[in-house]
Amino acid sequence: MKQAKNSLLIGFLAILLGTLFYSTAQSQEVLTGAERADLYLPMLKGKKVGLVGNQTSILPQSANKHVVDFLLENGIEVKKVFVPEHGFRGTADAGEKVDNSTDQKTGLPIISLYGNNKKPSAEQIKDLDVVIFDLQDVGTRFFTYISTMHYVMEACAEQGKKVVIFDRPNPNGSYVDGPMLKKGFESFVGMHPIPVVHGLTVGELAQMINGEKWLKGGLTTDLEVIPVANWNRNQAYSLPVKPSPNLPSDLAIKLYPSTCFFEGTVMSLGRGTYDPFQMYGYPDPKFGTFTFTPVSIDGMSKTPPHQDKKCYGVDLRGESLDHHFTLSYILDAYQKSGMKEKFFNNFFNTLAGTDELKKQILAGKSEAEIRESWKAGLEEYKQKREKYLIYN
3-state DSSP assignment of residue 298:
coil
**Could you give the percent of the chain with pLDDT greater than 70?**
90
Give the whole-angstrom CA distance, residue 268 versus residue 276. 9
pLDDT band at 85 (very low <50, low <70, confident <90, very high): confident
pLDDT band at 302 (very low <50, low <70, confident <90, very high): very high
State how far Cα 162 lies from the chain centre: 23
pLDDT band at 9 (very low <50, low <70, confident <90, very high): very low
pLDDT band at 99 (very low <50, low <70, confident <90, very high): low
Cα–Cα distances (Å) from 203 to 8, 20, 60, in that order, read 44, 30, 19
- The CA angle 341-345-351, to the nearest 5 degrees, is 115
State how far Cα 132 lies from the chain centre: 17
Above 50 in pLDDT, residue 243? yes
134-145 pLDDT per residue, tens: 999 999 999 999
Mean pLDDT of 62-69: 94
Give the whole-angstrom CA distance, residue 210 versus residue 219. 8
What pLDDT is recorded for position 87? 61
Alpha-carbon Rg for the chain, nearest whole angstrom, is 23
What pLDDT is recorded for position 102? 84
Task: Yes or no: say if 222 and 162 are a contact pair by the CB < 8 Å rule.
Answer: yes
What pLDDT is recorded for position 105? 82
Above 80 in pLDDT, residue 12? no
Above 90 in pLDDT, residue 250? yes
Above 50 in pLDDT, residue 25? no
| Residue 335: CB atoms within 10 Å | 11
pLDDT band at 233 (very low <50, low <70, confident <90, very high): very high
Above 50 in pLDDT, residue 43? yes
What pLDDT is recorded for position 212? 98
Mean pLDDT of 161-190: 98
What pLDDT is recorded for position 50? 98
Give the whole-angstrom CA distance, residue 278 versus residue 309. 18
233/102: higher pLDDT:
233
Burial of 356 (C-beta count, 10 Å sphere; 0-12/13-18/19+): middle
209-221 pLDDT per residue, tens: 999 999 999 999 9
Give the number of C-alpha atoms closer than 13 A to the C-alpha of residue 30, restricted to the C-beta side: 18
What pLDDT is recorded for position 35? 98
Q: In the sheet that 279-282 helps form, which strands lie side by side, from edge to edge?
A: 279-282, 311-315, 290-292
**H helices present in 122-194, as ranges:** 122-125, 145-159
Give the whole-angstrom CA distance, residue 158 versus residue 222. 11
Mean pLDDT of 250-269: 98
Q: What's the whole-model pTM score?
A: 0.90
Mean pLDDT of 321-338: 97
Q: Please state the φ and ψ torsions of residue 18, each to the nearest 5 degrees.
A: -60, -40
Lowest mean pLDDT among 27-36, 40-49, 173-182, 222-231: 27-36
Mean pLDDT of 97-108: 75
pLDDT, the chain, mean:
91
Above 60 in pLDDT, residue 173? yes
